[in-house]
């Protein structure tokens, strides 16, 4: 389609082929100023209650709902029952929930919520970013929501500690950074995780990969090959790690290590470990590397590291190479080859006094399969390449693509098996 045709379709309101889908359908907007005014009135009434300090959560919620109902009964200029219900829900979200963000977090079609200061609230739906019409009226309102989120996770954020990573009660991952580090106001990023996990059949139906590649990955996990999932931000690495973990035998003992818990493995003999940042005095930090080292003493059959990003890389590689076969992990990278380079770099940054060739030999003997994920301009996530680490050739780690996609007329084709067969899979099958 020519540029002129695309402009003509846009002027007539016709979506171009392959255009991003429309944004999610949100709750009808209510008067934000009225919501804030009513919420402040309820807070004033609650402050006058003699037993306010001794109320438990259930009594406090009941009192909030009661005071809100009384105030709304006296409220004028509310058109219809639907508007009254919307106003009531908005006031309750402001008092008990996360304000204007609450129904965005409740919407199952939204996977990520981003707040850029007072006026910019964005969401990701179906892999595409959309700007909402929502906004915060005042900095006080925004900071109140931020404090409520951070406190619900048992953490704190203030000028002394202006950055925080936390996990909300529903498992969503929260990141907050405050001014002056965030120049235009507080920046909040919330990545949601659905309770209903995807299966490999779901990924096949979504054309993320084909049935033959899915069967190969199942065989790789069951035959205890070490698998590294690579890809950029938001490509679905954690989802793929969850899917691959579903093929682990239920009689195996599995230890997961994460910076913030995101994996949802359905295994009976599972131990989940989560890193801990330093406290306000700068002590008490427990790093991913500490947890990986400790996991080796917990008699695991497999170790699953949510993401390697630092000094723990060498410990993970040694674990894969010393009796913990079948381990899984993820890494940020643009290509499978870049994934191996990142492992080299992170190992060197860990202060390991080893020559580069020795590090590469460690990687070549530890990693069996690399599953590389990508995302196109429409937000569709898919497996771009499945590669095998073949070993060392001279001073370079040799790789071979087992499944890959080819471009035709500018479009990326389906995932297809190459003419190369997996030597490591054949060797594992022979050993079995």
Residue 281 to residues 104, 178, 387, Cα–Cα distance (Å): 35, 20, 45
pLDDT in tens, 107-166: 988 989 999 998 889 999 887 889 998 889 899 999 999 999 999 888 889 888 899 988
pLDDT tens for 305-357 read: 999 988 899 999 988 988 889 999 999 999 999 999 999 999 988 777 889 99
Walk me through the domains of the chain, giving residue ranges and CATH numbers. 24-96 (no CATH), 100-195 (3.30.450.370), 200-431 (3.40.50.300)
Share of the chain above pLDDT 90, in %: 48
Confidence of residue 410 (pLDDT cuts 50, 70, 90): low
pLDDT bucket at 431, cuts 50 / 70 / 90: low
- 127: alpha, beta or left? (left if phi > 0; alpha if psi -120 to 50): left
Q: Tokens 């301009």 label which residue?
A: 377
196: pLDDT strictly greater than 70: no
Give yes or no for residue 76 having a pLDDT over 80. no
**Which structure tokens are listed for 143?**
């900071």
Q: How confident is the model at residue 15 (pLDDT cuts 50, 70, 90)?
A: very low
DSSP 360: H
Question: What letters, b where the CB count within 10 A reaches 16 and e where it falls short, cover 46-61?
Answer: eeeeeeeeeeeeeeee
pLDDT at 5 over 80: no
- The helix/strand/coil state of 404 is strand
pLDDT of residue 192: 87
């Amino acid at each position: 389609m020519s540029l002129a045709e695309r402009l003509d379709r846009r002027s007539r309101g016709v979506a171009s082929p392959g255009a991003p889908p429309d944004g999610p359908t949100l709750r009808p907007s209510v008067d934000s100023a009225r919501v804030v005014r009513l919420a402040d009135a309820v807070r004033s009434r609650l402050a006058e209650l003699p037993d306010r300090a001794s109320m438990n959560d259930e009594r406090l919620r009941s009192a909030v709902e009661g005071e809100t109902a009384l105030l709304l009964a006296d409220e004028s200029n509310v058109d219809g029952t639907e508007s009254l219900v919307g106003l009531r829900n908005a006031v309750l979200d402001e008092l008990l929930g996360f304000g204007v963000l609450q129904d965005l977090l409740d919407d199952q079609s939204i996977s990520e919520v981003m707040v850029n200061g007072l006026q910019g609230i964005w969401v990701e739906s179906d892999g595409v970013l959309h700007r909402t019409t929502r906004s915060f009226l005042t900095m006080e309102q925004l900071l109140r929501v931020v404090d409520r989120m951070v406190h619900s996770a048992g953490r704190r954020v203030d000028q002394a500690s202006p950055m925080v990573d936390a996990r909300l009660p529903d498992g969503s991952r929260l990141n907050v950074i405050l001014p002056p580090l965030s120049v235009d106001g507080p920046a909040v990023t919330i990545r949601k995780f659905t309770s209903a996990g995807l299966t490999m059949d779901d990924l096949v139906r979504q054309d993320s990969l084909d049935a033959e590649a899915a069967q190969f990955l199942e065989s790789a996990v069951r035959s205890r090959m070490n698998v590294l999932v690579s890809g950029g931000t938001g490509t679905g690495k954690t989802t793929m790690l969850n899917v691959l973990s579903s093929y682990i035998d239920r009689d195996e003992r599995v230890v997961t290590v994460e910076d913030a818990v995101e994996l949802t493995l359905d295994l009976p003999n599972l131990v989940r470990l989560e890193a801990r940042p330093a406290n306000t005095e700068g002590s008490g930090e427990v790093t991913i590397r500490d947890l990986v080292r400790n996991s080796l003493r917990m008699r695991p059959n497999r170790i699953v590291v949510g993401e390697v990003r630092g000094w723990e890389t060498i410990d993970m590689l040694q674990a894969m190479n010393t009796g913990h076969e079948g381990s899984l992990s993820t890494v940020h990278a643009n290509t499978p080859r870049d994934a191996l380079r990142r492992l080299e770099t992170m190992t060197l940054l860990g202060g390991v006094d080893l020559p580069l060739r020795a590090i590469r030999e460690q990687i070549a003997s530890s990693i069996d399969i690399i599953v590389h994920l990508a995302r196109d301009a429409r937000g569709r996530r898919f497996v771009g390449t499945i590669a095998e680490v073949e070993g060392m050739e001279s001073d370079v780690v040799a790789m071979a693509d087992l499944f890959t996609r080819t471009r035709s007329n500018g479009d990326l084709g389906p995932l297809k098996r190459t003419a190369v067969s997996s030597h490591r899979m054949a060797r594992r099958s022979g050993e079995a």
